[in-house]
Amino acid sequence: MSGSRIKTIIIAALVLVNAFFLVLIALDAVAEALAERETLENVSAIMRAGGIEIDPDDISTAGNIKTMRTARVVEVEADIAQALLGTTTMTTQGVIYLYENAERGAAEFASAGDFEVLIKDGAITDEVGHVRTVSALLKKMNLETSAPAVSQSPDGVTATVTVVGAYRGANIFNCPIEFAFENGSLRTVRGRYVAGIEPAEDGTEISKVATALLGFLAAVGNEEREDVQCTRIYGVEAGYMHRVSGSLGDGVIAPAWLIATDNGRFIIDDATGEIWLQ
């Protein structure tokens, strides 16, 4: 048998082996998806039996969400201030950093990531619309967030665009940022951002959604938890919550669940099971 024919046979055999393994991987993925769907349907049935209506299609499953370390990064907040105000000068008052002497206004940043920016009337207008204005500013601020949500006064004089900070596509539920407009001008930007995100050595991964839902059902059925009540769940989302552990701004983003109901939006601390109304 010639060497070229042997080589052809070997290549064909390798192709068949690779195809076989790809089929096995595909079958495992299908089996896993079917098992996950069955779990969601079973949990939904339990929730309905407990008096809470829910559609399995409204339930999110967790991605690669685990505890990450965070830290204050002064360079990041300086970039945010410059994106909104232009060139500024920075002074400090303990852990409070002030950005002033800018053409467009002034800003104040705390160590935990909380900030407020006051913008002079007419310095930033919404000629292209509230959402497009905010989207352009967020790009300059280099912040990952959820899609903007707009609320506007009946007379159209004021409007607020709200986004939520995010990390790799997952929202950080307790890090909202509000852009407030008045008479066509952006006047304030306030909220919380997260920076310096790195893997945590003791980071824990998010639990199964069934665990979160059953814990929520138990809270609803607990007569001592009058603050946790609902009859309908509209959505379940996996994400993070931000915790700060010291005055210097060090902290974590930890796995959490957001449950949207007919009685408000509830956040579940995945590590402790604590539930509170957002």
Cα separations in angstroms, 16 against 2, 8, 13: 22, 12, 5
CB contact at 8 A, 230 and 263: yes
- Could you report the per-residue pLDDT of 192-214, keeping only the tens digit for each? 999 999 998 888 899 989 999 99
DSSP for 13-77 reads HHHHHHHHHHHHHHHHHHHHHHHHHHHHHHHHHHHHHTT-B--GGGB----S-B-EEE---HHHH
- Could you give all domains of the chain from N- to C-terminal order, each with its CATH number? 42-67+201-277 (2.40.128), 72-195 (3.10.180)
CB contact at 8 A, 150 and 131: yes
Higher-pLDDT residue of 144 and 226 is 144
Backbone angles phi, psi at 2, to 5 degrees: -70, 155
Out of 24-33, 110-119, 171-180, 212-221, which region has the weakest mean confidence (pLDDT)?
A: 24-33
- Could you report the per-residue pLDDT of 22-65, keeping only the tens digit for each? 443 443 333 444 456 677 888 889 989 999 999 999 988 777 89
Determine the pLDDT at residue 4.
Answer: 62
On average, the pLDDT of the chain sits at 87
Q: At 160, is the secondary structure helix, strand, or coil?
A: strand
